[in-house]
Structure 1
Amino acid sequence: MSKRRKNLQDVFYTVMVAAFASGWALPGSAQEGMQPATAPAGDAKTPKTKMLEAGAKLLQSSSPLKPFDIYLVGFHPMKDSPEDQMEAHHYCHQVNEDFAQCVLFDSNTKDANLNGIEYIISEKLFTALPEEEKKHWHPHNGEILSGQLVAPGIPDVAEKELMKQKMNSYGKTWHVWNTGSEEKPGDNLPLGEPMLGWSFSRDGEAVPGLVEKRDRNMRINSAEKRKQRADLKQFARPQSGVDDLKGRFGRSTQDIPGVVDRKSKGRD
């Protein structure tokens, strides 16, 4: 390991220890609560149900959920219908250096609806996938370099190091419940087929107001984060899937510096 890399890691771990000690890194702890737009169909809980829940909490272990301690917020357009877009609150567990798994919600409060899952893999694991499988995995460089993908509640230096680690990575996302978007109301139950989520790789692909609403509600400045991450462009390599949604939005879009499709690069 190079001395420079070791120094960066030392800084990151020091900041993270301080963050956890102060409570900053608890998922959503430093942000405004964002109530979900959709309430599931059904009657209110009975006293009996509440009593059973209380007993289960005391007597049963929920250990599979305990490692899900990384909180990310981003956006997903649906690959087959790109104008269907949603804000996604990710609660993730970094299983090893190359693989993470996340549960997705439509908000960050106790009333949030679980509406999907996402697996995140490194470029190394993506490269080894069968060609037919790769079409399910979206690239992350556009989300990171645009400032849209954020890790609320941790110091800027720790967030930037986390984003650096996710450069050139890929995600496989399935949304199983349309809980609402900027353009369409949500269903009050999970209906229909799972929807393959994708990522934004160009400015202008997001429905106007989508990112701004998230930033306003969570007191985030995506434009400032984009400036802070400008130097991460040097680590960006061409990715598969960047052009998969190109031209499928009813408005003009602009390239994000450093975000390049692997096939386009191959034609240069």
Structure 2
Amino acid sequence: MALRASWPLLALLAACTGSDRVEPAVSPPGADETARTNALEAGAALLQDNGPLAKMDVYVVGFHPMKEHPDQQMEAHHFCRQVNEDFAQCALFDGNGVEANLTGIEYIISGSLFETLPAEERAYWHPHNGEILSGQLVAPGIPEAAELELMRTKMNSYGKTWHTWHTRDGVEPGDPMPVGPAMLAWSFSRDGEVRPELVTARDQRMDISTAERREARSELRELALPQEGVDALRDHFPHATPIPGVDQRQ
């Protein structure tokens, strides 16, 4: 299945089946919207379209640690647009409802595009095989076969992610406003790196089994190539263990 053809189809399936709503972690301070503001929003909705947001029609949920502060971890809801076969761009939120807070951005590239990057740039891009083969990255609300095909298209890809607002601190609420500098996020490539309570809370809230998804994706291991960045968090989590199929490129 062609990647670009599959993503809109997956989005349509997700819209038909639906998924459990995840509320934002915090509400920023500020006065309630006035009637005038509500009227302006209603007029804009009638007269303007959603522009680039209209094509951010693929929804996936995963977990991000900060590369320089790996104990700082959060659940991330991605709404993505596949720009072409090798490049996607995502807006990150702390939930999936209309009140969710915008918390960052992620760009996703294929392994072949990653190979074109200079060495110093590659340090910003995290590998995705661990997220996929562990079952941590999920596409809620679509049939299992469709989700498996989506994950197949993302094997050996890389992401460059910046979090601008840390509304979650693990499973607890985080900052009520976007404060401080943007932080480079990373991925989990070994068992024992992600906080187990993060996975448990997400699975219970969204009626998902990470373990079942991991088992279903075992067939994708044969597609996995060694990736750069797998060892980036190794010293911080010395007791973590390998995920079958996830290897550091030498």
Question: Pick from 234, 253, 267: which aligns with 2:240?
Answer: 253
Match of 1:153 in 2: 141
Match of 2:33 in 1: 45
Residues 230 and 217 of structure 1: CA distance in aligned 2, closer, same or farther (over 3 Å): same
* Contact kept? 1:103, 1:118, Cα under 8 Å: yes
Match of 1:238 in 2: 226
User: In 2, Cα distance between the equivalents of 1:15 and 1:111?
Assistant: 25
| Superposed displacement of residue 61, structure 1 | 2.2
Question: Pick from 5, 14, 28: which aligns with 1:25?
Answer: 14
Tell me, which stretches of 5 or more residues in structure 2 are unaligned? none
Moved over 4 A (4+): 13-19
- The TM-score, its normalising length taken from structure 1, stands at 0.88
- Report the identity percentage: 56
* 2:177 paired with 1:189: yes
Give runs of aligned pairs for residues 1-268 of structure 1, distance below 5 A: 9=1, 20=12, 24-26=13-15, 30-182=18-170, 185-249=173-237, 252-263=239-250
* Contact kept? 2:26, 2:175, Cα under 8 Å: yes
Residues 91 and 139 of structure 1: CA distance in aligned 2, closer, same or farther (over 3 Å): same
* Contact kept? 1:73, 1:87, Cα under 8 Å: yes
Tell me, which stretches of 5 or more residues in structure 1 are unaligned? 1-8, 264-268
User: In 2, Cα distance between the equivalents of 1:60 and 1:184?
Assistant: 37
Match of 2:203, SS state, is helix
| Superposed displacement of residue 41, structure 1 | 1.2
User: In 2, Cα distance between the equivalents of 1:96 and 1:15?
Assistant: 11
- The TM-score, its normalising length taken from structure 2, stands at 0.94
Residues 131 and 107 of structure 1: CA distance in aligned 2, closer, same or farther (over 3 Å): same
Match of 1:209, SS state, is helix
Cα deviation, 1:47-78, whole Å, max 9, x if unaligned, reads 01000000111112222111100000000000
User: In 2, Cα distance between the equivalents of 1:260 and 1:115?
Assistant: 30
The letter of the residue matching 1:252 is H
* Contact kept? 1:84, 1:183, Cα under 8 Å: no
| Superposed displacement of residue 230, structure 1 | 0.2
User: In 2, Cα distance between the equivalents of 1:52 and 1:224?
Assistant: 46
User: In 1, Cα distance between the equivalents of 2:120 and 2:7?
Assistant: 41
Match of 2:52, SS state, is helix
Residues 17 and 200 of structure 1: CA distance in aligned 2, closer, same or farther (over 3 Å): closer
User: In 2, Cα distance between the equivalents of 1:62 and 1:104?
Assistant: 17
The letter of the residue matching 1:77 is P
Match of 2:33, SS state, is coil
User: In 2, Cα distance between the equivalents of 1:210 and 1:152?
Assistant: 16
* Rg larger in structure: 1
